[in-house]
Structures are given as structure tokens and as C-alpha cells.
Amino acid sequence: MLKIWSMKQKQQQDEAAATGGAKKKKVTAAQLRVQKDLSELSLGSTMKTNFPNPDDILNFTLTIEPDEGMYKGGRFIFDFKINQNFPHDPPKVKCTQKIYHPNIDLEGNVCLNILREDWKPVLNLNAVIVGLQFLFLEPNASDPLNKDAAEDLKANREGFKRNVRLSLGGGNVGKQTFDRVLK
């Protein structure tokens, strides 16, 4: 605890010196934790983060561009919203495109157990990002948000693959038109 306090004190002194002694906003526990998680991220070449407001690290996007699997060649952007109760509450994560996936519904909600019932404060943002990446490698038909895509995957894997390719190009699957996400 002493080490964290002295680090926080040092950070405040540095900020005061940088702003000529002007008071800066207090850094919250959630911001400190997110800062730590972000500093420990190990993003591969297929992923990148973007901070629309550099002063707000609690709201950012993650772009995933799978280089293997059924979703290869797509570009998927996820919106991360982290509340002040993080890490006790999981981040809210939503896909910004309409995609054909058993674990992502048509509104962009993501079905990932660690974002819901299996979230624990010891988990970090890297665990969430690895989980999202895994959804593109191994879609899970047994815990679906998009029941049509899940049934398609269970009943006919090759047909599902065709529908994924069609949807990635902005085509129609059933009565749904999907966003073109191919790079």
C-alpha cells in the first residue's frame, strides 16, 4: 500500500510540476488499474487500440483483424467502456459492426463468459482481448447470442463458413444485410 501511495504521490508531484503547479484532476482507482492493464497489454500485429479522447483511458476501441480462421481478412472494431467500479465490474464491450457470429448479436453485444458471470477483479484487459480474439478462431455455438448463426454452425459447418464469407463482404444471410468488414 505504501508503494502505491508513494507512486501516486510522485505522479501528482510530476503532474503539478508539468502544469506549473496547477491542480490536475484526481486519478481514480479505475484509471490507475486501466493504466496498469494497458501498460501490460501484449497486442499482436492483428490488433490495435485507439483512444478517441487521449485524456479518457476508460473509453477506447480495439480493432481486431484476424489473419486465420473463418473471419480472416475482416476488420472488427470493439468499443470498450469501463466504469469507475473497475476492476470489480467488467468492462462493457460492444462490436461496432453488424457481423454474422454465434457469440455476437446483431446489435454488437458480445457473449463472452468473462464479461459476465465469470468476471473476477484479478482478470485484466488482456484476458478480455484474448477472449475476443479466440471468438474469431473458435466461434462457440453452445453459448449463442445469435441463435440463427449458432444453429447454422451446429447443423452445417461448411454452410456456416460460406455464410460468414458472404456476410464479411457485406452480403445478405437470410433476411439480414451485414456490414462489409473486409480490409
Domains and CATH numbers, the chain: 26-177 (3.10.110.10)
Separation between Cα atoms, residue 18 and residue 100, nearest integer Å = 48
- Sequence-distant (6+) residues with CB within 8 A of 81 are 58, 59, 91, 92, 93, 94
- Is 182 within 8 Å of 88 (Cβ atoms)? no
- Is 153 within 8 Å of 139 (Cβ atoms)? yes
pLDDT recorded at residue 5: 41
Q: Is 111 a catalytic residue?
A: yes
Separation between Cα atoms, residue 90 and residue 80, nearest integer Å = 10
Separation between Cα atoms, residue 130 and residue 46, nearest integer Å = 12
pLDDT recorded at residue 143: 85
| SS3 state at 144 | coil
- Is 137 within 8 Å of 66 (Cβ atoms)? yes
Separation between Cα atoms, residue 165 and residue 127, nearest integer Å = 27
Q: What is the 8-class DSSP label of residue 41?
A: -
Burial of 178 from C-beta contacts in 10 A (0-12 / 13-18 / 19+): buried
Question: For residue 177, what is the enclosing H or E element?
Answer: strand 176-177
pLDDT digits (tens, 9 = 90+) for 36-50: 999 999 898 999 999
pLDDT band, very low/low/confident/very high, at 22 (cuts 50, 70, 90): low
Catalytic residue among 47, 64, 111, 141: 111
pLDDT band, very low/low/confident/very high, at 20 (cuts 50, 70, 90): low
Question: For residue 91, what is the enclosing H or E element?
Answer: none
In the chain, % of residues over pLDDT 70: 86
Separation between Cα atoms, residue 13 and residue 96, nearest integer Å = 39
Asked whether residue 120 carries a pLDDT value surpassing 90, the answer given is yes
First to last CA, the chain: 47
Separation between Cα atoms, residue 39 and residue 10, nearest integer Å = 18
Please compute the mean of the pLDDT values over residues 132-138 and round it to a whole number.
Answer: 95
- Is the link from the previous residue into 87 a cis peptide, with omega within 30 of 0? yes
Q: Give the predicted TM-score (pTM) of the model.
A: 0.84
Sign of the C-alpha dihedral, residues 104, 131, 42, 167? negative
